[in-house]
Amino acid sequence: MWIRDRRARDIPVVERFLVERDTRMCARAGKLVDALAHPALLAEENGELIGVLTYILEEKACEVLTIHVEDSWRGVGTALLEKAEHIALQAGCDVMFLTTTNDNLDALRFYQRRGFQLTRLLPGAVDESRMRLKPTIPMTGAHGIPLRDEIVLRREL
């Protein structure tokens, strides 16, 4: 497996990967963002796309917009996140942050194990996004948990 930056010619395959996971249009903090319009890291194995991380690089902070892998528990997510942290550090950022949802216990575990701290809870933010921005957000999320709230996690670099 190896990780590389997305190039212009990767756009169709990355678009398919994101659309299949309903994550191309990404709702968070009351805004809908097109993940495809931002830089991405691709994880590949034998020429196949097995993971995508999209991010927004600001002056001092790097936001992980989306991170998805084809098969969990193989180190792909960790490799993508480590590469994003490396890019953020090189760019002079001193913080990484991201938003996840209240049902995503796997992601909460994953990020906290990697040094991220829960810094903000936005109760009802997902309900709001479903109503105003992205009607395809399901009512029920992972583990049968009602999908309602956003949680912001942050890690100093």
Ligand X SMILES: CC(C)(COP(=O)(O)OP(=O)(O)OC[C@H]1O[C@@H](n2cnc3c(N)ncnc32)[C@H](O)[C@@H]1OP(=O)(O)O)[C@@H](O)C(=O)NCCC(=O)NCCS
* Binding-site ranges for ligand X (CB under 6 A): 67-69, 72-78, 98, 100, 104, 106-107, 110, 113
Beta carbon nearer to ligand X, 10 or 23? 23
Q: Report the residue number, 53 or 93, with the smaller CB distance to ligand X.
A: 53
Nearest position to ligand X, beta carbon: 77
Give the nearer residue to ligand X in terms of CB position, either 8 or 124.
124
CB 25 within 8 A of CB 46: no
Rounded Cα gap, residues 104 and 147, in angstroms: 9
- C-beta of 93 vs 100, nearer to ligand X: 100
* Smallest separation, CB 36 to ligand X (Å): 16
- Rounded to the nearest whole angstrom, what is the least distance from the CB of residue 103 to ligand X in the complex? 9
Supply 113's token pair.
């194990």
- The two beta strands, 61-69 and 95-101, are parallel
CB of 71 to ligand X, least distance (A): 7
Query: What whole-number distance in Å separates Cα of residue 58 and Cα of residue 115?
Result: 20
Beta strands (DSSP E) in 76-138 are 95-101, 117-122
Minimal distance, residue 154 CB to ligand X, in Å: 13
For residue 68, the Cα-to-chain-centroid distance in whole angstroms is 7
